[in-house]
Structure 1
Amino acid sequence: MDLGYAGATAVVTGASKGMGLAIAESLGAEGASVALMARGRDALESAARRVRDAGAPEVLPISVDMADADSIAAGYATVRDTWGGLNVLVHTVGPNAGRFEDLDDDDWHAAFDLGTMAAVRSVRAALPMLRSASWARIVTLSAHSIQRQSAGLVAYTASKAALASFTKNLSKTLGPENILVNCVCPGTIVTASFTEILKDVLAAEGLDSADPADVMTWVERTYGHPCDLGRAGLPDEIASATVYLASKRNSYVTGATVNVDGGSDFI
């Protein structure tokens, strides 16, 4: 299936690792030129090589602090000055976890800066370019915890719920301009950072943090959140859904909040 990315340009935030990198690689493989936004320059350069190897005609690594409004504006100015236009914005950035009793006001402000306001600022900066394009799409990444709560994700989930609401509203605002806007809610996804952070925790229970089935076993034991497929997901599985929603081929899906979670449906 031709998704219509030939000649297209895309921005992916949080693109230096995990789901963001998988999405950027998939966009490149489909023929889009991709701007990668993240903080770490070394990680960005490594990611850029991978996206080029995937087939992207042009890759633009841009160091951006998504908690800083001026840095975000400067990043999109670089895209505008380099390409002159933009077809796709995929926003994947999110805040850290934490329990309610461990969070002060600064932590809450930081969570909403990354979990919600980074997307607001990205859309604000990208919108003039998206409006001038022959076709345009926006996809945000929220989280399945907005419907299935976990105590350790209170500020994270609140900011991601706000992001989902913002995305839904934006689809109504931009629908008359034929700019399609959708939200993807990943379930438990086994990324390299997830594997590393939880390696010792799962090993203490005789489980492998790189094994999707073991990860879901741990999630069900710890949080009571099983999924129908009996395993966690992989970044490429988030990328597949996201890249379709962000494509020219998608001509009628907008305002959707799409669960990509292995069937861990919500009660």
Structure 2
Amino acid sequence: MDLGFAGAKAVVTGGSKGMGLAIAETLGAEGASVAIMARGQQALESAAESVRSAGAPEVLTLSVDMADAESIAAGYAAVSDAWGQLNVLVHTIGPSAGLFEELDDDDWHAAFDLGTMSAVRSVRAALPMLRAAEWARIVTLSAHSIQRQSARLVAYTATKAALSSLTKNLSKSLGPEGILVNCVCPGTIVTASFTEILKDTLAADGLDSSDPHDVMKWVEQTYGHPCDIGRAGLPEEIASATAYLASRRNGYVTGATVNVDGGSDFI
């Protein structure tokens, strides 16, 4: 299926690793030029090489701190200088975890700055370019924890719930302009950072943090959150769903919150 990305210009925030990188690679493979925004220059350069190898005709690397409004504005100004218009914005950024009693006001402000306001600022900066393009799409990445609560993710989940609400509202306001806006809610996804962070924790239970079936077994035992197909997901599975929603081929899906979680008891 031709998704219609030939000649398209796309920004992927958080595109240097994990799900963001998988999305950038997929968009590049489909023929889009991709601007990757992330903080670490070394990770950006490595990601750029991967996205070029996937087939992207052009890759921009932009060192942007998504918790800093001026840095975000500067990143999109650089995209505007390079391209002038934009077809796709995919926003993948989220804050870190923490229990309620561990978080003070500054932690909450920081969580919302990164988890919600980064999207607000990204969309605000990208809108003139999206409006200048022949067609345009916005996709945000929320989380299935907005439906399946976990005590350790209290601030993370609050910001992602706000992001999902923001996305729905934007679909209403931008729909008449032909800009389609959707939200993807990943379930448990086995990324390289996930595997490394939880390696010892899962190993203590005789499980492999790189094995999607072992990971889901641990999630079910620890949090009581199973999924219907019995395994965790992979970054490329999030990328596939995101790419369709971000594509020109998608002409009628907007305002959707799409679970990509291996099947759950939520709709």
* TM-score (norm: length of structure 1): 0.99
- Per-residue CA deviations over 1:27-69 (Å, capped at 9, x if unaligned) read 0000000000000000000000000000000000000000000
What do you get for the CA RMSD once the two structures are aligned?
A: 0.7
Runs of 4+ in 1 over 3 A off after TM superposition: none
**Matched residue SS, 2:93:** coil
Partners of 1:241 and 1:232 in 2: CA distance: 16
1:23 paired residue number: 23
- The residue type equivalent to 2:134 in the other structure is S
1:121-140 → structure 2 map (5 Å cutoff): 121-140=121-140
1:107-126 → structure 2 map (5 Å cutoff): 107-126=107-126
1:93 paired residue number: 93
Partners of 1:265 and 1:168 in 2: CA distance: 21
1:50-199 → structure 2 map (5 Å cutoff): 50-199=50-199
* Per-residue deviation, 1:265: 2.6
1:239-258 → structure 2 map (5 Å cutoff): 239-258=239-258
Please, which runs of 5 or more residues in structure 2 have no aligned partner? none
1:41 paired residue number: 41
* Per-residue deviation, 1:84: 1.1
Partners of 1:49 and 1:266 in 2: CA distance: 38
Please, which runs of 5 or more residues in structure 1 have no aligned partner? none
* Per-residue deviation, 1:7: 0.3
* Per-residue deviation, 1:264: 2.1
1:215 aligned to 2:215? yes
Q: Percent identity?
A: 85
- The residue type equivalent to 2:62 in the other structure is I
- Aligned residue pairs, count: 267
- The residue type equivalent to 2:86 in the other structure is L
**Matched residue SS, 2:180:** strand
Determine if contact 1:208/1:215 at 8 Å carries over to the other structure. Answer: yes
Partners of 2:110 and 2:203 in 1: CA distance: 31
**Matched residue SS, 1:263:** coil
